[in-house]
Every structure is written in structure tokens, then in C-alpha cells.
């Protein structure tokens, strides 16, 4: 099984999971680059999965579904036209056409009904949409800091080797912010050097892994003393715990 990043728009990745001549797509914001990819690789589309309702994640969904007549999965609690199987935490599916079992997590915060798809076992992976990014996290459009930090904690509890397929190439900007929050983090400095080299070669910095995110992503490190100190300095006051620290650095990132 192979997972391919199909670039779209400015900085989106649409994910194509392929096995043999069959493929599923996660978050098809645009149908055209997916159709080109399928054609170029001789693939048949057998399933469509969506994480949340934003247009850059579902804009190509109806066109692909009508062309390929394949099943469409998505969040139970968001209004997305074309979803046939509506999923919520604890649901399990086997992706049609692929030998790929996935379980579903509710990860509200970026949007109210956002879900993530988790593959457990020896080759673990998670498709987390706009919830966790490489070294960052999504904006809080519909949820609270409490919800988003709980959602990120859920993702951070996945096994360390879990590959994190997020939906945007924001990594270098996220690392610049992470350095401002936690300048003493040696793992972050290593990550910066590696990811800068990756981008210089024109390659995606994603997927990362849950282990790497735990070590370097400031939004997963709201109980680390240096992160707390930076958040309190930025706030100009004492903060009462990890959720307040999370809320402060999320606000700070919006204007960084
Ligand atoms: Zn989004």
C-alpha cells in the first residue's frame, strides 16, 4: 500500500492511498489533480473519505463520486453533500477496494464535527485533516481551546510510529513559530534543518510521526516549562494550566 501526496491549491495535500490498481482519496478539495493522478498511474477510485466540511477538503467530492460511482465516507455531524456513510468516534470501516481497516476519532476544534481516520497495527497512520499539522495545529474556526487541546491530546496518544498525514504544507512557518515558543528544544532545531532541506528539494515535509510531533509541536507541549513560560510572557500574566497555555499560544500564532 502506498500513500501519495497530490498537491492542490496553494499548499494543500490531497492524499491518495493506492494498492495495486485501486485507490481511495482523502479530502479531495479539487477533482482535477486527483483525476490526473489516477489517470497517470492507471488507478481506479474505489472510495472517497472526508475529514471536515471546508471547501478545500470536499470541493472535488461530488465530481469524483459521480465519475467513479464509489462509496463516500465523512463526518456524521457536518453538512457535506454527497456523504453516504456518516462516521463518528468508535466507528470502523474497511476502505472499499483496499485492504485498509480504519477507525474513526472525533477531533472537534478546527470545525465542530471534524473526524480523523486511524490505521492501527504494524504500519500505523492517521489522516487528521486540519486538526494537527506538522509542528502546528489548525485554527479554531468552530471549536473552543478545550475541544482542540483534547482533540490534539487524542492524536498524541496514538503510537509514536504513527505517520501523520495532515492536509497542508505549513511546516516551515510552523517551525519558525515553535522556535519562538520553545527556543531551547534541540529536537526542534534538528527538525528545522531536515525539513528546510526537504523543502529545498521541493519535497513534502509530511507525513511526520506522532513521536516527532510530541517532541517538537508546541501545541502538544503545553505542560513543558519553557512553553508555559513563553505563553505567560506573551500573555503578560500567569496561566492556570495546559488549556490556557494552549489558548494563548494559538492566539499568538494567529498574529505571528
Ligand atoms: Zn479546514
Catalytic status, residue 130: yes
What is the pLDDT at residue 157? 98
Catalytic status, residue 4: no
121 Ramachandran zone, left/alpha/beta (phi>0; psi -120 to 50): left
Cell of 132: 494537527
Cell of 85: 456513510
Marked catalytic residue, from 30, 53, 106, 110: 110
What CA–CA distance (Å, rounded) separates 177 from 147?
Answer: 22
Distances, alpha carbon 14 to alpha carbons 10, 54, 58, 158, in Å? 12, 13, 10, 22
Q: How far, in Å, from the CA of 186 to the mean position of ligand 1?
A: 30
- Nearest-5° Cα angle at 91, 129 to 114: 25
Catalytic status, residue 77: no
Marked catalytic residue, from 54, 106, 114, 195: 54
Contact between 13 and 204 (Cβ < 8 Å): yes
Marked catalytic residue, from 53, 57, 114, 195: 57
What is the pLDDT at residue 99? 86
Contact between 37 and 63 (Cβ < 8 Å): no
pLDDT in tens, the chain (256 residues): 999 999 999 999 999 999 999 999 999 999 999 999 999 999 999 999 999 999 999 999 999 999 999 999 999 999 999 999 999 999 999 999 998 999 999 999 999 999 999 999 989 999 999 999 999 999 999 999 999 999 999 999 999 999 999 999 999 999 999 999 999 999 999 999 999 999 999 999 999 999 999 999 999 999 999 999 999 999 999 999 999 999 999 999 999 9
Q: Is 95 exposed, middle or buried (0-12, 13-18, 19+ CB in 10 A)?
A: buried
What CA–CA distance (Å, rounded) separates 140 from 108?
Answer: 9
Marked catalytic residue, from 53, 114, 168, 195: 168
- β-pairing, 101-106 with 115-119? antiparallel
What is the pLDDT at residue 86? 98
Rounded to two decimals, the pTM is: 0.97
Catalytic status, residue 106: no
Amino acid at each position: 500500500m502506498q500513500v501519495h501526496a497530490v498537491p492542490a491549491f496553494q499548499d494543500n495535500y490531497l492524499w491518495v492511498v493506492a494498492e495495486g490498481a485501486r485507490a481511495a482519496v482523502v479530502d479531495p478539495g479539487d477533482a482535477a489533480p486527483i483525476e490526473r493522478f489516477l489517470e497517470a498511474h492507471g488507478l481506479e477510485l474505489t472510495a472517497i473519505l472526508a475529514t471536515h466540511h471546508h471547501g478545500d477538503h470536499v470541493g472535488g467530492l461530488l465530481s469524483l463520486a459521480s465519475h467513479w460511482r464509489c462509496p463516500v465516507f465523512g463526518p456524521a455531524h457536518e453538512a457535506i453533500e454527497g456523504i453516504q456513510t456518516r462516521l463518528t468516534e468508535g466507528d470502523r470501516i474497511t476502505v472499499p477496494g483496499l485492504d485498509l481497516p480504519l477507525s474513526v476519532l472525533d477531533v472537534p476544534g478546527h470545525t465542530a464535527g471534524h473526524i480523523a481516520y486511524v490505521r492501527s497495527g504494524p504500519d500505523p497512520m492517521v489522516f487528521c485533516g486540519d486538526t494537527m499539522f506538522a509542528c502546528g495545529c489548525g485554527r479554531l474556526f468552530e471549536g473552543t481551546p478545550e475541544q482542540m487541546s483534547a482533540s490534539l491530546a487524542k492524536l498524541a496518544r496514538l503510537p509514536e510510529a504513527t505517520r501523520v498525514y495532515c492536509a497542508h504544507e505549513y511546516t516551515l512557518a510552523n517551525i519558525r513559530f515553535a522556535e519562538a515558543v520553545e527556543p531551547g528544544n534541540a529536537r526542534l532545531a534538528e527538525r528545522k534543518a531536515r525539513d528546510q532541506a526537504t523543502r529545498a528539494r521541493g519535497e513534502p515535509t509530511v507525513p511526520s510521526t506522532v513521536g516527532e510531533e510530541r517532541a517538537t509541536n508546541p501545541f502538544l507541549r503545553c505542560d513543558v516549562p519553557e512553553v508555559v513560560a513563553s505563553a505567560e510572557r506573551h500573555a503578560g500574566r500567569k496561566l492556570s494550566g495546559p488549556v490556557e497555555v494552549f489558548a494563548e499560544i494559538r492566539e499568538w500564532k494567529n498574529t505571528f
